[in-house]
Amino acid sequence: MDMTLPLLILVLPITMFLILGLCGMKMSHKLAGTLGTIGMGITAILAYTVAFTYFFSGNPDFVTAEGVRQQFEVFNYDWLAFTPTLIVQLGFLLDPISALMLVVITTISFFVHLYSLGYMHGEKGFQRYYAFLSLFTFSMLGLVVATNIFQMYIFWELVGVSSYLLIGFFYTLPSAVAASKKAFIVTRFADLGFLIGILLLSFFTDTFNFVELTSNPGTTISTLSAGGTFMGCSVVTWALCLIFMGGMGKSAMMPLHIWLPDAMEGPTPVSALIHAATMVVAGVYLIARMFPVYCLDEASMDFIVIIGAITAFYAAVVACAQIDIKRVLAFSTISQIAFMMVSIGAARPELHEGLGYMSGMFHLFTHAMFKALLFLGAGALIHAVHSNNYTDMGGLRKYMPITHWTFLIGCLAIAGIPPFSGFFSKDEMLTAMYDNSMFLGVWMTMVAGLTAFYMFRLYYMIFWWEENPHYKDHKPHDSSWTMSLPLIILAVVSCVSGFIPFGHFVTWNGEPYDIHLKMSVAITSIVVAVVAIALATVLYRKKNDVPAKMANSVKWLWTAANRRFYWDEIYMFVTHKIIFNIICKSIAWFDRHIIDGTMDMFAKVTQKVSYAIRGLQSGSIQTYVLWYFAGAILLGLVVWMMVI
């Protein structure tokens, strides 16, 4: 394959970032926005071309005669050659999941660019916003096409920076600044584990390259096993779990999830792009990328499943008790990403050809579409009502029909109602989980039911319940076409994307197979979802006091869920009370008094001595002569004594 197109996919967004970042302030808002959107549109077309070529051209580089899809390095350039064996490369790897991600990222990014034309209209720093969006898109594209784990790490940090910049976009708001710092620090902390994992892995296997690592996973594991054990776990498990820790940070798995709800301080389209559809699934993507290695190490796979299962349930419970609509969506995102994690962690090549892997990636794709839709819909609502809380909404279905219908489609998709896309992917994931263990399947079905419940609770609270009296003064209405068009297109995609024969495109080893709906699982999940939706309908369709009474009867639980089970407080306690107060303060004391003290003592002694003898340097020749004379006499005396 010619390397021009893939290279252009990366070069275009970074060029756009440089143009908008350097010259943006001289442009009008309209020009900057249009330029960014057109640039992103072209990138999307290029990405579609590349993905289409990869999947459908039948080129022997991409797919063998038996139909097994291959990994193909379009280019791989030696960037930093430290020693003959330690070489950091930059390249472009085409395989099913990177082609899939190219499509997802550019699609969502393009719609977010378009949507922001309306949403961010007239905001101060509009050009800067578009520059950052381009930077993010570049970093994310670089991440997914990484040929080696080190390149992935570099772009991994770059998306972290872009996320930081965009969360803190309204930098005059202290809450936005705090949220951006929190996001950056928490993910950086996780990336420390990631880096150690990379070093462990590459130290024992002598390579960063994904293709080399995953084409012979048995060799990788056996060379890693030579590293012995540490604290009861083998080096393999340590390396893989530490790499997964990086994924936990980016994908907001417990206990590193605390940054994602706060990240909602950023502009809503940013939440849709970064904190729902693309960046937060980087962790899932990382595990998928390394899947052939992971699936040979049972312990780390179990670790992923346990973390994912707990997170999914926790986030779903918390989402039921949030008032800010963006936070509900944020927790729903955490829960859904955990779903994907569990799915990939539950996948075993010997069960259903690694169904969990395929369905996890499938859910990543469908979730990106309908979650971006939900976030953009939430943006339209916030734009119309000027508040993030559903308590200021209610009864909006008459005023904002387009937003209403598209939001409803998003809710149906995430709840898993056929024929919307979420049903198909979620059903496959649940099948994989039931195959892995009965308990896991039941647990995740319960989470799916909770998902349906809280999404419809949100839906009814926004669009039904009771009309807010303020609408008389300020009538909410649907937004301009730039904001409505992405909603409509994403809604259509959410309706039809479930019918994509995903098993033909993305499987863990590239061999295509047909997806079969397992009726028992499908019917169970539909029944659970319908019951949950019915419950939400009964409770929240019309204004009544039953929900309030229910909340009051288990007030401690409601408050705890509303406060997110005090995770932020726990972190505050650990960081401020323990780390800052006890550890840091004692270290600071040592630094100030012992280390600085020693240096200060040298300085003080020197100073004292200088003060004492500075009278000698009087500037008066006569004094010097006197001293000279005294010295000469002394010297003479000494010589005289010695002679005698």
Partner 1 sequence: MDLTIMMYLIPSLIMFACGVYGFITRKNLIAILISLELMLNAVDINFVVFNRFLFPGQMEGMFFTMFAIGIAAAETALAIAIIINIFRAVKSVDIREINKMKF
- Give the C-alpha distances (Å, rounded to integers) separating 465 from 156, 201, 318, 391, 402: 42, 54, 21, 10, 19
Determine the Cα–Cα distance for residues 57 and 203; give it in Å rounded to an integer: 38
Give least dist CB 616 to partner 1, A. 15
Contact between 640 and partner 1 (CB under 8 A)? no
Determine the Cα–Cα distance for residues 259 and 368; give it in Å rounded to an integer: 19
Nearer to partner 1, 83 or 620 (CB): 620
Give least dist CB 187 to partner 1, A. 59
Determine the Cα–Cα distance for residues 361 and 425; give it in Å rounded to an integer: 9
Determine the Cα–Cα distance for residues 419 and 590; give it in Å rounded to an integer: 65
Nearer to partner 1, 554 or 632 (CB): 632
Give least dist CB 635 to partner 1, A. 15
DSSP string, 577-609: IIIIIIIIHHHHHIIIIIIHHHHHHHHHHHHHH
Give least dist CB 612 to partner 1, A. 21
Give least dist CB 620 to partner 1, A. 8
* Secondary element (H or E) of residue 108: helix 96-119
Is residue 539 exposed (0-12), middle (13-18) or buried (19+ Cβ within 10 Å)? middle
Nearer to partner 1, 538 or 625 (CB): 625
Nearer to partner 1, 231 or 616 (CB): 616
Q: 87: which DSSP letter?
A: E
The values of phi and psi at residue 229, to 5°, are -125, 160
Is residue 393 exposed (0-12), middle (13-18) or buried (19+ Cβ within 10 Å)? buried
Label residue 416 left, alpha or beta by phi (over 0 means left) and psi (-120 to 50 means alpha): left
Nearer to partner 1, 580 or 624 (CB): 624
Determine the Cα–Cα distance for residues 553 and 122; give it in Å rounded to an integer: 46
Give least dist CB 265 to partner 1, A. 60
| Residue 92, strand partner residues | 75
- Give the C-alpha distances (Å, rounded to integers) separating 644 from 43, 238, 349, 638, 639: 100, 83, 104, 10, 9
Contact 166, 158 (CB under 8 A): no
Q: In which residue are the tokens 């863990």 written?
A: 508
- Beta carbons within 8 Å of 340's beta carbon, 6+ residues apart: 281, 284, 308, 360, 361, 363, 364, 367, 429
Determine the Cα–Cα distance for residues 156 and 77; give it in Å rounded to an integer: 19
Give least dist CB 632 to partner 1, A. 10
Nearer to partner 1, 11 or 626 (CB): 626
The values of phi and psi at residue 595, to 5°, are -70, -55
Pairing of strands 87-94, 233-234: unpaired
Nearest to 444 by CA among 454, 434, 456: 434
Give least dist CB 613 to partner 1, A. 18
Give least dist CB 618 to partner 1, A. 9
Give least dist CB 624 to partner 1, A. 10
Give least dist CB 636 to partner 1, A. 13
3-state secondary structure of 393: coil
Q: How many residues bind partner 1 (CB under 8 A)?
A: 6
Task: Count the Cβ atoms, other than its own, within 10 Å of residue 206.
Answer: 11
Give least dist CB 590 to partner 1, A. 44
Nearer to partner 1, 603 or 626 (CB): 626
Would you give the binding string for partner 1 spanning residues 245-284, x where CB under 8 A is met?
----------------------------------------
Q: Restricting to residues 552-571, which ones interact with partner 1 according to CB under 8 A?
A: none
Length of the chain: 644
Give least dist CB 633 to partner 1, A. 10
Calculate Rg over the CA atoms of the chain. 30
Nearer to partner 1, 218 or 636 (CB): 636
Would you give the binding string for partner 1 spanning residues 589-628, x where CB under 8 A is met?
------------------------------xx-x--xx--
Q: Which residues bind partner 1 (CB under 8 A)?
A: 619-620, 622, 625-626, 629
